Amino acid sequence: MSARHLYVHLPFCASRCGYCDFVTVVGQDGRHAAYVDALLVELALEGDILAPRLESVFLGGGTPTLTEPRSLERLLRALPPAEEVTVEANPETVTPAVAALLREGGVTRVSLGAQSFQPRLLEVLERRARPDDVRRAFAILREADFDNLSLDLIYGIPGQSAADLDADLSEALALEPEHVSAYELEAKPGTRFTHAHGEELARQADAMESYFERVVAGLTEAGYRWYETANFCRASERDLRSQHNLAYWRGWDYLGLGIGAVSTIAGRRWRTTPRLGRYLASLQAGERPQRELEELPPPVRDSERVLLGLRLDEPLSLAGLGDAVDAAAVERLERLGLIARKGSSLTLTERGRFLGGGVTAELLA
């Protein structure tokens, strides 16, 4: 029982973006230090779950780079070393000082939340950064010798035309990032965002149907590898895939620290309380924070292996997963040209990948 992948959640944000569904905390600047203290206590409590040598650490948020610098520095120094250490950053928070802090703290990779290069669309998303902030942040990080940068893009934004999307893609490509994550905007029912923009999105639904294809075409034509449903990396001698996220998609164990963080270890999954006050209080008392526990019996784990594995461009070996997959569905989907079989492994065809969710639902027994 030892995990080689560690996730650390840093929830603080300057403001909350309408579409965001992560655990975030706004306006608690005074508690950054206490939160990092708590993280370190939690790390000590769970330390024996971690392998002696980690493959990846991922600091996600929230806005990790908004964390008060001395606390962030303290955290980075205390975390166990790993081959890949990623930090998420919002462009407007990236300064030479922050870049240096990250570099010195052992960070090897920065994931920048650009989302779009159109001021109008950034406003719809309630993002604080302007297009110039993204370019400046990129330059600062390059200056600080970061050679593995990722850009996040969002498409399907209310009011986004196909031309807007193409412009975003070429702006992103101009920065030559090692990695791009491109997500379709999810307007979840009942959220403030959907309330404000739902009608517009419904009106645009037909027009936006091609956006996913446009994103994939734009990036692959520029030499990027579409290695996961929403993730692309530059083809290179180096493996520029996100090693941390690959661990999720391959069904490997990971430990999560911080509020709302999820861990999956040896068939059990738990989620730490998303409530900051409770989290701090427990750890200040030296106790484990409250958790929601989910047992993952073997059939569930097998289903997850299929649903995660099929997101990747590498073949999924069905060895030991036979019962999770419906044999008749395999035949049917193969006939429809959505999946390809090679020996005992399965890959989605290109069209299959565009329909990956539905295909997976059909494949699962």
Partner 1 sequence: MEQSRIRNFSIIAHIDHGKSTLADRILELTDTVTGRDMRAQVLDSMELERERGITIKAQAVRVTWKGHELNLIDTPGHVDFTYEVSRSLQACEGALLVVDAAQGIEAQTVANAYLAIENDLEIVPVVNKIDLPQADPDATAAEIADLVGDTPDHVLRISAKTGDGVAEVLDAIVERIPSPTGDPQAPPRALIFDSSYDQYRGVVAFVRVVDGSFEAREPLRAMAQGTRFESEEVGFFSPTMRAAESLGAGEVGYVITGLKDVSRLRVGDTLTSERTPAAQPLPGYKDVKPMVFAGLFPTDSDEYPDLRDALERLKLNDAALFYEPETSQALGFGFRCGFLGLLHMEIVRERLEREFDLDLIVTAPNVAYRVLTKAGEEVEVHNPSEMPREVERVEEPYIKASIIVPKGYVGQVMELNTERRGRFDHMEYLSEERVLLVYELPLAEIVLDYYDQLKSRTRGYASFDYDVIDFREGKLERVDVLIAGEPVDALSLIVHRDGAYARGRMLVDRLREEIPRQFFDVAVQAAIGSRVIARETIKAKRKDVLAKCYGGDISRKRKLLEQQKKGKKRMKQVGSVEVPQEAFLAVLNLDGSKK
Give me the 245-284 binding string for partner 1, x by CB under 8 A, dash otherwise.
x--xx----x-x---xxx-x----x-x-------------
Least distance between partner 1 and beta carbon 243 (Å): 13
Phi and psi at 324, nearest 5°, equal: -80, -15
Distance CA 50, CA 57 (A): 11
Counting contacts by CB under 8 A, is residue 294 touching partner 1? yes
Q: What radius of gyration do the chain's Cα atoms show?
A: 21
225: three-class secondary structure by DSSP: strand
Least distance between partner 1 and beta carbon 79 (Å): 17
Residue of 7, 12, 35, 117 that binds partner 1 (CB under 8 A): 7
Q: 160 to 189, contacts with partner 1 by CB under 8 A?
A: 181, 183-186
Counting contacts by CB under 8 A, is residue 24 touching partner 1? no
Closest CA relative to residue 288, chosen from 68, 43, 42, 114:
42
Distance CA 351, CA 338 (A): 6
Least distance between partner 1 and beta carbon 236 (Å): 23
Distance CA 145, CA 316 (A): 36
Please, which residues have CB within 8 angstroms of residue 132's CB and are 6 or more apart in sequence? none
Nearer to partner 1 by C-beta: 87 or 338?
A: 338
Least distance between partner 1 and beta carbon 5 (Å): 8
354: three-class secondary structure by DSSP: helix
161 residue type, one letter:
S
Counting contacts by CB under 8 A, is residue 113 touching partner 1? no
CA atoms within 13 A on the CB side of 118: 22
Residues that bind partner 1 (CB under 8 A): 7, 22, 181, 183-186, 209-210, 212-213, 229-230, 245, 248-249, 254, 256, 260-262, 264, 269, 271, 294, 300, 303-304, 307-308, 311, 332-333, 336, 338, 353-362, 364
